[in-house]
């Protein structure tokens, strides 16, 4: 990695002029101008939140340029046609381990997907992917799901995906953060090998590890949205007169940020042995077949600063969770202050202060509210709490922010607040899980000042995890941890001496290689990787990247998305269950649950007459068995009210005293029917039934109570068309699919797009030549297929479970269903363009589809009875038309000619929704 | 004492967090005011604006009189169609009812015969079809006899049936639908609010923070129960007095305190259910999918949409374990029928028992769920 000064005069591959980028009120980039020379390994350094990622995303064309001008590979990146032309030449790996990978997909499938998007032919793909996987050492595990890989391996898969199309500019955003030192070293060797094969390729990398950047050709130091300095590492260190890049960076910071910063010095611990406060024996934790922590033993003395050094996912956090009693160990024991943690006694927990990995305070509360809440939960008396909070706020420099919301604090301040909360109750032990990740070097040093003060002056035992080597150097003793095992445990200096290496990192790598077993075999692997790297750079097959599929539409890219989506959903049990079990379950609930059939109404009689006439009258009710079910008779008015109140009966027929005598006299006595009207629909129906029973009796020529046929009345012939038995199942069962086939496909479609936004894999759409049409239709196809399968399930259920067959044209209904599904997935598509979280996507889709479907499309109220706005919504909502076809085909037995107009309407909706989605879908992040 | 204080302080935090979420507060206000009003007055089970057509083969003064008898709001103004078009028009769904008056209808009646009137009903429009057909018969019979006898007086039958609709004499749907709307909102919002609070705490790591402190899972869960429950309880009270009693003028037959006792018990169940769902789902997205299914089930089978008595017998046995069914049921008993504790104790007991079941089970899962995430 020769860094000669002559290389810096190379013509720039990226030229940035006056670029400013804002997120709301926050300025991420503040008028940056910068030329990045080509053919070099360029490092962008600085802590989290200074604008590194924003800058890289803009250069990669993934994020929309707000202000200024950025020229990449000889063209304006704000120009969509230039972006389209150069995107096959740029490779971008976003921040976050495996952020643009599909975790359900295997290693091979992930790389293959990228290869398809970049238009590699079916013949080239397997060859190219094999080369890359072998070169990165992933060759042995092509079938392992990306979600089950370690952080380092995920990054290698990401790199394979980025390199599959031979880029001229490789942009890597913090590729090694949280990766173990050995994988990190392998990663950089790999990049070097690739650069050897393609010397013209420019690489831009950001990193939080300054020591890594020290070896690169050219450095851009950034802080608070501005460039502090640029040049070769040697130049910069010379300029600031410092020995390493981290100190150099601190020296480059503006005066006010540096003020108060001094070298962290650690007073030595007294040698006297003190009692052991944390003791773990053979602590093991398994998650299914995976062993996260494997027989870890350790003992920590009072007042010691004990460090845990290891990569993401090595088992550090799991160990901590077991020590704090959050997780029960599978095997082994842990004791704090000689007491078992599992017993979880309140006294033990009162002695612990804990800081979780992520910021774990309430962002919606202010600094003071957070502190007060914890004081209360630890039952510190109010006066004492006030004093203590005052002290801490002063000592931790939080005065200026005391009434600010915790979520508005800068990262460094938040970490201090977390520490303040953790020590509020003066614990004897502090357990800190990666307290300083992402914090800038100055804030990190001042944080350590506080820790040292606690340890040395107050005798607090501190147990801290980190993945920064220089932080580990500050601990009294450290444990090196890798894949669940402790590799070594001693004072950092002793570990270095023991391995005879220059740095702790080298010592760590040495231990790791020992642990892997045969270091020789490893060496051989490395050689192999180096040997196969040149072909990785210059493949034997000439990739025809831009020749094949540069047009606005490519079937290969669209099907790549279809294939990808199908595999994802097949491996996601939750969404799969929602798609199939959900629809079947809802069909059962709706089919059996919604009915307007009122039958077997429980009723009782209150016969105050007990005459032959009264018995005759009441027998008529007992005879109508489909409608009425007789219950024990009632004796009094009070009892009648009581039984109506408690819902025991819904109808009381009361025959007054002297009914028989009055009837014989012809004085036309009254009979009273008290109907429970609490549910008005049911009450109305019962009232109608009672009148019906009465009328039948009155006009029955054979009955003694009858009056004979009446004069001047017509006879009614009521034809209940389509549903002669008048059972609601014949209406509900055909209607429910119209609701389910809009709700479920729309929700799934919206989630599939928004999920990519939330997880970050949408970046693959931003930075590849994929068009909007290819992306959307590609994702839509699997859901249309799922919808059609649902339709078949529902047809079978209707026939078998509910006994409702299709009387009309099955073929036409199927055609209509297919179109309807294109439309409903289209609705999900439109919703996905304006929602940004999966939760919002689910709720918005559910509300927007259920409401018009139940209210305005004929499910509860016939469309012909709607008025005004409701009628308008009903007339444009696609479900109205599908509902008509569905009820028409099942119950009305309508032929094709009646379904045709529904089909025509649905066919017109489909392209409109697609056009709207394409128009509102962004090809860049805002 | 210690436990009570912890529950109190944690719950207070919960309320402060909720109130600082402006969107949520606005949504809550909307859900318990406007949304209730719209639902209560929107869908009516009464016949409303029904579409009707006439086939008039008589063209007599009487048939014209009958044609003019159908008026808004129950019916739209009728349209004349030809006999041969009846099937086609009904297939297209243009009309719910088609009344066919035969030739010589008036003269047959005057001659003392009882001619046939055909009423074609689109029986796929369930709720309105049955009741609407009865309306049509009544209107035609009444108009016919007034027209022919030139008098409004109806001949009395030898026995007269007087139907009294108890508890809602005029059969106003809004009385029923407004309370069902409140019940639905309580179910939806409490479950979503509590479940989301659990998941948010877990995703932000604050739950871990709490569990390391000298607090028990019981205290953490109980704080969520009272805090979220209280917010919904206040919203429910507000909605009941402002919207249901004042705006919609729904009379309250029974004891208001008794009903609120029931609401509190139901809130215990819904918050426990929310904690349970929040604990078993691994992410907010899974929770959202789960909620859609659970809420639809709870609302549709509660008896608010379809009377419990209309469900198949086997389903009624299953829904007996659905607290939303008991909520709808005891609300009907207390609010409309004016029943007392003796009429609702079983429902109260079931709601409490099932709520307790979910609560205890969630506590067991609570610590385990930490292991599940990350």
Q: Measuring CA to CA, which residue among A62, A22, A17, A59 is closest to residue A42?
A: A59
**Yes or no, beta carbons of A364 and B204 under 8 Å apart:** no
A contacts of B208 (beta carbons < 8 Å): 321, 326, 354, 356, 360
Among B176, B208, B307, whose Cβ lies nearest the Cβ of A360? B208
Same domain for B32 and B129:
no
Q: Within this chain, do residues B214 and B290 fall inside the same structural domain, yes or no?
A: yes
Q: CA angle, A751 as apex, A746 and A757 as ends, to 5°? A: 140
pLDDT digits (tens, 9 = 90+) for A586-617: 898 888 888 778 888 999 999 999 998 899 88
A641 sits in which H/E element: helix A637-645
Q: State whether B243 and B291 are in the same domain.
A: yes
CATH of domain A5-258: 3.40.50.300
Q: Is B165's CB within 8 Å of A683's CB?
A: yes
CB contact under 8 A, B16 and A369: yes
Residue with tokens 């009692």: A275
Q: What is the DSSP string of A181-212?
A: HHHHHHHHHHHHHHHHH-TT-EEEEEES-HHH
Nearest residue of chain B to residue A377 (CA atoms)? B6
How distant is the Cα of B317 from the closest Cα of chain A, in angstroms?
A: 13
User: Quick one: CA torsion of A859, A862, A867, A871, rounded to 10 degrees?
Assistant: 60
Q: Which residues of A touch B296 (CB under 8 A)?
A: 586, 589
Closest residue in chain B to residue A369, using alpha carbons only: B13
CA proximity to A397, closest of A371, A417, A411: A417
Written as six digits, the tokens of A604 are 């009782």
Q: Residue A361 and residue B13: Cβ atoms within 8 Å?
A: no
**B364 domain residue, yes or no:** yes
The pLDDT of residue B93 is 82
β-partners of residue B17 are none
What is the predicted pLDDT for the residue at B155? 57
Chain B CB contacts of A892 below 8 Å: 91, 124
CB contact under 8 A, A861 and B43: yes
What one-character-per-residue DSSP string does B310-350 give?
A: GS-HHHHHHHTT-HHHHHHHHHIIIIIS---HHHHHHHHHH
Interface contact flag, B105 A376, Cβ < 8 Å: no
CB contacts, 8 Å: B162 with chain A: 670-673
CB contact under 8 A, A589 and B123: no
- B26: containing domain: 2-43+172-372
Show residues of chain A in contact with B297, CB under 8 Å. 585, 589
User: Is residue A701 within 8 Å of residue A755, measured between CB atoms?
Assistant: no
Taking domain A601-698, whether its CATH number is 3.40.50.2000 is answered by no
d(CA B267, nearest CA chain A) in Å: 22
Q: Who has greater pLDDT, A49 or A671?
A: A671
Residues B225 and B346 placed together within one structural domain of the fold: yes
3-state secondary structure A698-723: HCCCCCCCCCCCCCCCCEEEEEEECC
State both tokens at A873.
Answer: 């919504």
Contact A721/B105, CB-based, under 8 Å? no
User: What pLDDT band is residue A691 in, cutting at 50, 70 and 90?
Assistant: confident
| Residue located via tokens 């999920």 | A755
The token pair that represents A183 in the structure block: 């994988």
Give dist(CA A837, CA A70) in Å, integer.
30
Q: Output the pTM of the full model.
A: 0.83
Residues of B in contact with A598 (CB under 8 A): 307, 309-310
Mean pLDDT of chain A: 85
Q: Do B209 and A361 touch (CB under 8 A)?
A: yes
Asked if B306 and A713 come within 8 Å (Cβ–Cβ), the reply is no
Collapsed DSSP state (helix, strand, coil) of residue A755: helix
**First-last CA distance in chain B:** 35
Residues B138 and B267 in one domain: no
Owner of token pair 């004042």: B246
- Residue B287 with chain A: CB contacts under 8 Å: 839
Residues of A in contact with B214 (CB under 8 A): 346, 349-350, 377-378
Residue that is last in its domain, among B114, B149, B184: B149
**Which tokens is A896 given?**
């094709």
Tell me the nearest-neighbour CA distance from A918 into chain B, angstroms. 25
Residues B21 and B58 both lie in one domain: no
Out of B115, B133, B309, closest to residue A714 by CB: B115
Distance between CA atoms of B283 and B203, rounded to whole angstroms?
A: 8
Alpha-carbon gap: B240 to the closest alpha carbon of chain A (Å):
17
Q: What is the pLDDT of residue B1?
A: 78
What is the model's pLDDT at position A520? 45
pLDDT tens digit string along A780-820?
Answer: 999 999 999 999 999 999 999 998 999 888 999 999 999 99
Q: Structure tokens of B72?
A: 């808004």
Helix A555-570, helix A772-800: angle, nearest 10? 50
Provide, as residue numbers in chain A, all residues whose Cβ is less than 8 Å from the Cβ of B165: 675, 677, 683-684, 687
The answer to whether the beta carbons of residues A342 and A328 sit under 8 Å apart is yes
Residues of B in contact with A356 (CB under 8 A): 205, 208-209
CA distance B139 to A714: 12
Among candidates B124, B165, B307 on the partner chain, residue whose Cβ is nearest the Cβ of A677: B165
Chain A: residue nearest B21 by CA? A364
Token pair recorded at residue A44: 């962008």
* B166 part of a folded domain: no
Is the Cβ–Cβ distance between A148 and A197 less than 8 Å?
no
Residues 6+ apart with CB under 8 A from A520: none
Q: Is residue B326 part of a domain?
A: yes
* Rounded Cα gap, residues A65 and A55, in angstroms: 10
Find the residue in B nearest to A579 (Cα): B289
pLDDT per residue as tens digits for the range A316-344:
888 888 888 888 888 888 888 888 776 55
Contacts of A662 in chain B (CB under 8 A): none
Query: Which positions in chain B touch A747 (Cβ < 8 Å)?
Result: 289, 292
Q: DSSP state, A352?
A: E
DSSP summary character for residue A298: E
State the DSSP code for A254. Answer: -
Contact A673 B336 (CB under 8 A): no
Closest CA–CA distance from residue A554 to any residue of chain B (Å): 32
Probe site for chain A from B70, B123, B337 (most A CB atoms < 10 A): B123
**CB–CB contact B123 A721 (8 Å):** yes
Nearest to B2 among A379, A680, A712 (CB): A379
Please return the burial class of A210, using the count of CB atoms within 10 Å of its CB with bins 0-12, 13-18 and 19+. buried
CA distances from A495 to A304, A498, A505, A519, B225 (A): 17, 5, 10, 19, 52
**pLDDT beneath 50: ranges in chain B:** 372-374
Domain ranges (residues) in chain A: 5-258, 555-591+727-920, 601-698
> Among A613, A610, A618, which Cα is nearest to A705's?
A613
Judge: A718–B213 Cβ closer than 8 Å, yes or no. Answer: no
Q: Residue A363: its chain B contacts at CB < 8 A?
A: 204
Chain B CA closest to residue A590: B300
Residue of A nearest to B304 (CA): A679
| Contact flag A723-B10 (C-beta cutoff 8 Å) | no
- Who among B109, B122, B284 is closest to A714 (CB)? B109
Domain boundary among B99, B116, B149: B149
A287-323 pLDDT, tens digit per residue, is 777 788 888 888 888 888 999 888 777 888 888 888 8
Give the neighbor-by-neighbor strand order of the sheet with B116-122: A715-721, B116-122, B97-101, B52-56, B79-80
- Residue B167 inside a domain? The answer is no
Find the CB nearest B50 among A356, A678, A865.
A865
pLDDT band at A898 (very low <50, low <70, confident <90, very high): confident
Tens digit of each residue's pLDDT (9 = 90 or more) over A256-284: 777 767 777 778 777 666 788 888 889 89
Mapped onto helix, strand or coil, the DSSP state of residue A119 is: coil
Q: Which of A580-594, A767-781, A843-857 has the highest mean pLDDT?
A: A767-781
The CATH number of residue B126's host domain is: 3.40.1710.10
Q: Say if A5-258 and A601-698 have the same CATH topology.
A: no
Which of A330, A593, A640 to mutate to probe the B interface, most B CBs <10 Å?
Answer: A593
The H or E element that residue A601 is part of is strand A601-607
Strand A26-37's sheet: what is its strand order? A26-37, A12-23, A67-72, A75-76
What confidence tens digit (pLDDT) does each residue in A467-515 have? 788 888 889 999 988 888 888 888 888 989 988 888 888 888 888 888 7
In terms of CA atoms, which chain B residue is nearest residue A341?
A: B212
The encoded tokens of residue A527 equal: 């050689």
Could you give the 3-state DSSP secondary structure of residue A674?
Answer: strand
- pLDDT, one tens digit per residue, over A605-651 is 999 999 988 998 898 888 888 889 999 999 998 999 889 988 889 99
Interchain proximity B289–A360, CB inside 8 Å: no
Cis peptide before A611 (omega within 30 of 0): no
Which whole-number Å values give the CA distances from B23 to A147, A834, B28, B295, in the listed order? 35, 17, 9, 21
Helix, coil or strand: residue A514: helix
Tally of domains in chain B: 2
Q: How far apart are CA A406 and CA B17, in angstroms?
A: 12
For residue A285, the SS3 value is: strand
Q: Which pLDDT score, from 0 to 100, does residue A753 have?
A: 93
**Based on the domain organization, do B12 and B114 belong to the same domain?**
no
The Cα–Cα gap between A817 and A819 comes to 5
Residue with tokens 């000889």: A74
Tokens representing A704 are: 């003694």
Give the closest residue to A111 by CA, choosing from A434, A630, A564: A564
| pLDDT of res. A10 | 65
Whole-number Å distance between alpha carbons of A766 and A173: 16
Q: For chain B, where are the alpha helices, taking DSSP H only?
A: 2-20, 22-32, 34-42, 61-67, 86-91, 105-110, 126-149, 173-203, 206-212, 217-239, 256-280, 284-300, 313-319, 323-331, 341-372
Which residue of chain B has the CA closest to A868? B49
Q: Where do the DSSP E strands lie in A643-795? A: 651-655, 670-676, 715-721
Give percent of chain A with pLDDT exceeding 70.
Answer: 93
Maximum C-alpha span of chain B: 94
- Would you say residue B39 lies in a domain? yes
Chain B interface, best mutation among A721, A756, A853, by max B CB count within 10 A: A721
Residue from the list B94, B109, B310 with its beta carbon closest to the beta carbon of A598: B310
């Amino acid at each position: 990695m020769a860094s000669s000064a002559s290389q810096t005069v190379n013509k720039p591959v990226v030229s940035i002029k006056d670029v400013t980028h804002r997120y709301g009120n926050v300025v991420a980039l503040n008028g940056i101008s910068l030329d990045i020379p080509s053919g070099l390994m360029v490092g962008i350094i600085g802590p989290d939140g200074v604008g590194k990622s924003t800058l890289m995303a803009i250069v990669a064309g993934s994020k929309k340029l707000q202000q200024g001008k950025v020229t990449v590979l000889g063209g304006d990146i704000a120009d969509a046609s230039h972006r389209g032309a150069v995107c096959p030449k740029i490779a971008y790996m976003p921040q976050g381990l495996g952020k643009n990978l599909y975790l359900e997909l295997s290693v091979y499938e992930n790389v293959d997907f990228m290869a398809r998007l970049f238009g590699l032919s079916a013949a080239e793909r397997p060859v190219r992917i094999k080369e890359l996987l072998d070169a990165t050492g992933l060759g042995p595990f092509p079938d392992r799901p990306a979600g089950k890989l370690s952080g380092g391996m995920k990054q290698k898969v990401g790199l394979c995906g980025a390199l599959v199309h031979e880029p001229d500019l490789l942009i890597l955003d913090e590729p090694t953060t949280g990766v173990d030192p050995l994988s990190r070293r392998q990663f950089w060797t790999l990049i070097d090998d690739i650069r050897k094969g393609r010397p013209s390729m420019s690489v831009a990398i950001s990193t939080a590890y300054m020591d890594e950047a020290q070896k690169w050709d050219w450095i851009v130091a950034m802080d608070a949205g501005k460039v502090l300095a640029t040049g070769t590492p040697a130049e910069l260190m010379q300029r600031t007169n410092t020995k390493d890049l981290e100190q150099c960076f601190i020296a480059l910071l503006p005066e006010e940020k540096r003020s108060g910063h001094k070298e962290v010095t650690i007073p030595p611990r007294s040698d006297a042995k003190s009692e052991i406060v944390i003791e773990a024996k053979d602590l093991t934790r398994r998650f299914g077949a995976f062993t996260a922590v494997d027989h870890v033993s350790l003992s920590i003395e009072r007042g010691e600063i004990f460090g845990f050094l290891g990569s993401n996912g090595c088992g550090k956090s799991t160990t901590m969770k077991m020590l704090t009693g959050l997780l029960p160990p599978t095997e082994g024991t842990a004791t704090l202050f000689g007491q078992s943690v599992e017993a979880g006694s309140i006294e033990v927990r009162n002695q612990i202060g804990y800081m979780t990995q992520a910021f774990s305070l309430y962002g919606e509360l202010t600094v003071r509210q957070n502190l007060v809440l914890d004081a209360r939960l630890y039952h510190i008396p109010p006066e004492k709490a006030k004093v203590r909070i005052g002290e801490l706020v002063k000592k931790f420099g939080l005065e200026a922010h005391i009434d600010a919301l915790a979520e508005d604090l800068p990262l460094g301040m938040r970490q201090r607040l977390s520490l303040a909360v953790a020590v509020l109750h003066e614990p004897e032990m502090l357990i800190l899980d990666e307290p300083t990740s992402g914090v800038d070097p100055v804030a990190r040093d001042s944080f350590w000042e506080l820790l040292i003060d606690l340890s040395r002056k107050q005798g607090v035992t501190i147990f801290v995890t980190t993945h920064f080597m220089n932080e580990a150097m500050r601990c009294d003793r450290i444990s090196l941890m890798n894949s669940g095992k402790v590799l070594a445990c001693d004072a950092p200096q002793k570990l270095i001496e023991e391995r005879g290496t220059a740095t702790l990192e080298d010592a760590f790598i040495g231990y790791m290689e020992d642990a892997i077993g045969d270091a020789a075999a490893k060496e051989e692997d490395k050689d192999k990787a180096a040997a196969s790297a040149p072909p990785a750079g210059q493949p034997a097959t000439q990739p025809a990247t831009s020749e094949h599929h540069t047009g606005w539409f490519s079937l290969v890219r669209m099907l790549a998305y279809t294939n990808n989506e199908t595999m994802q959903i097949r491996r996601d049990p939750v969404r799969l269950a929602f798609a199939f079990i959900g629809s079947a379950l809802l069909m059962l609930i709706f089919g059996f649950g919604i009915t307007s059939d009122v039958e077997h109404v429980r009723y009782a009689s209150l016969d105050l007459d007990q005459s032959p006439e009264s018995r005759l009258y009441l027998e008529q009710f007992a005879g109508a068995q489909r409608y009425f079910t007789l219950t024990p008779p009632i004796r009094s008015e009070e009892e009648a009210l009581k039984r109506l109140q408690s819902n025991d009966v819904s109808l009381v027929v009361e025959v007054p005293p002297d009914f028989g005598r009055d009837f014989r006299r012809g004085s036309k006595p009254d009979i009273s029917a008290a109907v429970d009207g609490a549910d008005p629909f049911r009450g109305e129906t019962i009232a109608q039934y009672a009148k019906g029973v009465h009328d039948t009796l009155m006009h029955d020529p054979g009955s003694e109570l009858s009056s004979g046929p009446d004069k001047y009345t017509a006879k009614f012939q009521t034809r209940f068309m389509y549903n002669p038995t008048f059972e609601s199942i014949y209406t509900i069962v055909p209607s429910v699919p119209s609701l389910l086939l809009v709700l479920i496909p729309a929700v799934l479609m919206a989630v599939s797009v928004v999920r990519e936004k939330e997880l970050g894999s949408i970046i693959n759409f931003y930075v590849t030549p994929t068009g909007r049409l290819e992306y959307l239709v590609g994702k839509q196809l699997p859901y249309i297929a799922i919808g059609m399968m649902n339709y078949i399930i529902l047809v079978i259920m209707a026939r078998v479970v509910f006994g409702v067959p299709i009387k009309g044209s099955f073929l036409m209904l199927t055609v209509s269903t297919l179109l309807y599904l294109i439309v409903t997935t289209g609705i999900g598509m439109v919703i996905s363009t304006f929602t940004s979280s999966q939760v919002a996507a689910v709720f918005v889709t559910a509300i927007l589809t259920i409401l018009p479907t139940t209210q305005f499309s004929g499910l509860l109220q016939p469309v012909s009875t709607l008025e005004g706005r409701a009628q308008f919504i009903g007339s444009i909502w696609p479900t109205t038309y599908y509902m008509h076809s569905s009820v028409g085909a099942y119950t009305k037995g309508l032929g094709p000619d009646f379904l045709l107009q529904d089909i025509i309407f649905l066919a017109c909706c489909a392209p409109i929704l697609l056009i709207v989605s394409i128009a509102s879908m962004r090809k860049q992040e805002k | 004492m210690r436990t009570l204080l912890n529950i109190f302080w944690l719950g207070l935090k919960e309320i402060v967090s909720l109130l600082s979420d402006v969107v949520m507060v606005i949504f809550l206000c909307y859900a318990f005011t406007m949304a209730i009003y719209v639902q209560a007055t929107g869908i009516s089970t009464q016949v409303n604006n029904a579409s009707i057509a006439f086939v008039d083969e008589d063209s007599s003064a009487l048939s014209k009189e009958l044609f003019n008898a159908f008026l808004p709001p129950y019916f739209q103004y009728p349209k004349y169609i030809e006999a041969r078009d009846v099937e086609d028009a009904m297939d297209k769904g243009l009309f719910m009812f088609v009344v066919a008056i035969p030739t010589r209808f008036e003269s047959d009646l005057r001659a003392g015969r009882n001619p046939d009137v055909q009423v074609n009903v689109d029986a796929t429009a369930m709720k309105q079809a049955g009741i609407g057909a009865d309306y049509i018969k009544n209107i035609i019979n009444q108009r016919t006899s007034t027209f022919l006898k030139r008098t409004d007086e109806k001949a009395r039958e030898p026995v007269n049936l007087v139907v009294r609709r108890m508890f809602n004499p005029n059969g106003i749907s809004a009385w029923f639908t407004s309370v069902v709307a409140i019940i639905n909102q309580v179910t939806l919002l409490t479950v979503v609010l509590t479940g989301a609070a659990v998941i948010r705490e877990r995703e932000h790591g604050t739950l871990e923070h709490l569990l390391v402190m000298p607090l028990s899972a019981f205290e953490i869960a109980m704080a969520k129960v009272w805090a979220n429950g209280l917010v919904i309880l206040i919203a429910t009270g507000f909605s009941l007095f402002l919207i249901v009693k004042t705006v919609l003028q729904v009379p309250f037959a029974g004891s208001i305190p008794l009903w609120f006792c029931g609401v509190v018990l139901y809130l215990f169940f819904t918050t426990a259910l929310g904690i349970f769902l929040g604990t078993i789902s691994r992410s907010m997205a899974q929770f959202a999918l789960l909620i859609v299914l659970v809420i639809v089930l709870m609302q549709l089978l509660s008896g608010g949409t379809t009377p419990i008595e209309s469900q198949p017998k086997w389903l009624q046995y299953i829904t007996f374990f659905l607290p939303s069914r008991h909520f709808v049921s005891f609300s009907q008993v207390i609010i409309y029928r004016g029943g007392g504790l003796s009429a609702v104790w079983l429902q109260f007991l079931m709601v409490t028992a099932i709520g307790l079941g979910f609560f205890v089970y969630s506590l067991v899962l609570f610590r385990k769920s930490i292991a599940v995430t990350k």
